[in-house]
Amino acid sequence: MRETMICPTPPMGWNSWNTFYDKINESLIRETADAIVESGLKDAGYEYLIIDDCWSMKERDAQGNLVPDPEKFPGGIKAAADYVHEKGLKFGIYSCCGTRTCAGYPGSFEHEFQDAAQFAEWGVDYLKYDNCSRPRSQGTEMLYRRMSMALRSTGRDIVLAACQWGTENVHRWIRSTGAHTFRSTVDIQDSWNSIETIVSSQLELQAFGSADCFNDMDMLVVGMNGGGFNPETKMGGCTEAEYQTHFALWAMMNSPLIIGCDVRELSKEAGNILMNADLIAINQDSECRSAYQVDVYESPDSFILVKPLSNNEYAVGYFNFGDSKANVTLNFWDMGLSSAAGYGMDVYDCLDHQSIGIKREYMTVQIPAHGCRIVRMKPKGMS
């Protein structure tokens, strides 16, 4: 019997789709595994290396097995998985609950148990399971239940990442299927507009994700800078401030942190954002509490998220979605601290990595357009 959860905190890793689209192969996977280790990403917590769509042949073999494309993966998927494991990382792959994947390769519909057994044999630790080409009569709930059972039946611990896109009120039932994460939105694009749209659609739904079943707001676009081969993701890129805000929101909202840029050419700026240990610690906090939202009256385009942490601290994110700078105030009253309590807040800045000191009653910050400020607060007796 397994005594621990497979996903006690949001999964962290890298996925091929945002940047590489169908241009994936064994060398890319090896080089990416090397880069995850050498860049420090592994030490920062990124552990899953996930191959997305387009890894197989367009048809199954005579026995109904999925066949890795021999041109892309001459050693098969097992060789890629073995290399990833040798690096101390975990290996993920992609399939779909319909008859075809979103890019037109064979899906796992009515092959669930056969494919799950194959994945387990190859050493797969994580399955991203998409939602295209479903036979009309099939809702996704049954199909995710089915793959969950198939994976569990292999006896191997395999994360089921349900790429459901947020239809059919997925947040209400996905946990009961046995899935460990659930994509809750359409595909992210490398643009501020896409980030803003995804976040706005999930602010009200934060409480539905928790340990062993997290709300997946899609892969990160940090570090893409408008590049890559994916015409659907490529959308001009974001500013550094926007990438920072994107990462901070994914961290505060307990989303999986799955990198989508080319980590073989990770820029210093992107590395700093992706390896911010203070933000990662917020995302990986063992209590996995969802944040609550505090409205900001001074600025209609700004909001504050407060997430209780396991060590009697609170992660506080000030966010400005407006197109000009804004002053944003958090009244500690809104966190539960009345003036009569005799407490102030000891504040630590998670972007500058330094203490700001004690604040009483409230804390106001000025935030640039599309920017953020992330701090940790700890109640401190003032007597």
What are the residue numbers of the active site? 130, 187
Using CB atoms within 10 Å of the CB of residue 210, give its burial: 0 to 12 exposed, 13 to 18 middle, 19+ buried: middle
Task: Using CB under 6 A, pick the residue from 124, 147, 158, 163 that binds ligand GLA.
Answer: 163
The verdict on 52 binding ligand GLA (CB under 6 A) reads yes
- Residues recorded for the chain: 383
Contacts to ligand GLA from residues 125-154, by CB under 6 A: 130
Contacts to ligand GLA from residues 15-44, by CB under 6 A: 17
Write down the least CB distance from residue 278 to ligand GLA, Å. Answer: 28
Tell me which stretch binds ligand GLA (CB under 6 A): 58-66, 101-109, 203-211, 337-345.
101-109
Interatomic CA distance for residues 24 and 36, integer angstroms: 17
| Beta carbons within 8 Å of 44's beta carbon, 6+ residues apart | 274, 275, 277, 280
Q: In 10 A of CB 259, how many CB atoms?
A: 29
Task: Using CB under 6 A, pick the residue from 7, 66, 89, 102 that binds ligand GLA.
Answer: 102
- Give me the residues paired with residue 106 across strands: 100
Write down the least CB distance from residue 176 to ligand GLA, Å. Answer: 22
Pairing type for strands 257-259 and 12-15 reads parallel
Write down the least CB distance from residue 49 to ligand GLA, Å. Answer: 15
Report which secondary-structure segment, H or E, holds 348.
Answer: strand 343-349
Write down the least CB distance from residue 101 to ligand GLA, Å. Answer: 6
The verdict on 69 binding ligand GLA (CB under 6 A) reads no
The verdict on 53 binding ligand GLA (CB under 6 A) reads yes
Please say which residue, 130 or 285, places its beta carbon nearer to ligand GLA.
Answer: 130
* Conformational region of residue 292, where left means phi above 0, alpha means psi within -120 to 50, and beta covers everything else: beta
The verdict on 241 binding ligand GLA (CB under 6 A) reads no
Q: Are 181 and 162 in contact (CB under 8 A)?
A: yes
The verdict on 162 binding ligand GLA (CB under 6 A) reads no
Sites of contact with ligand GLA (CB under 6 A): 17, 52-53, 101-103, 130, 163, 187
